[in-house]
Amino acid sequence: MFVLRTNTIVPTVSEMEGLLRFLNWLTSLQHGYSGVVLVSHGAIFLDIPVLIRALQRASLAENFFQVSYHAGRVRTI
């Protein structure tokens, strides 16, 4: 990917590789806790639905829910 503003090339990975790296990073943050809490300004309406759809496409949603702490019911999108 080329970033015009900085005039640099940024290395990219596939969606699957990015999701696996993200899940591995989340797992590394647990340190004995029951889960990781993700916080975002637009989480409910954009960030989480997009993330969950990508995880479902990659069959990694269950892995995500094992690592992340979620209060209440989780809705499948």
Reading the chain (77 residues) residue by residue, the pLDDT tens digits are 888 889 999 889 999 999 999 999 999 988 888 888 887 787 778 888 899 999 999 999 999 988 887 654 444 44
CA 19 from chain centre, in angstroms, equals 6
What's the confidence (pLDDT) of residue 34?
80
What's the confidence (pLDDT) of residue 73?
45
* Beta strands 8-9 and 2-3, pairing class: antiparallel
Enter the pTM of the model.
0.75
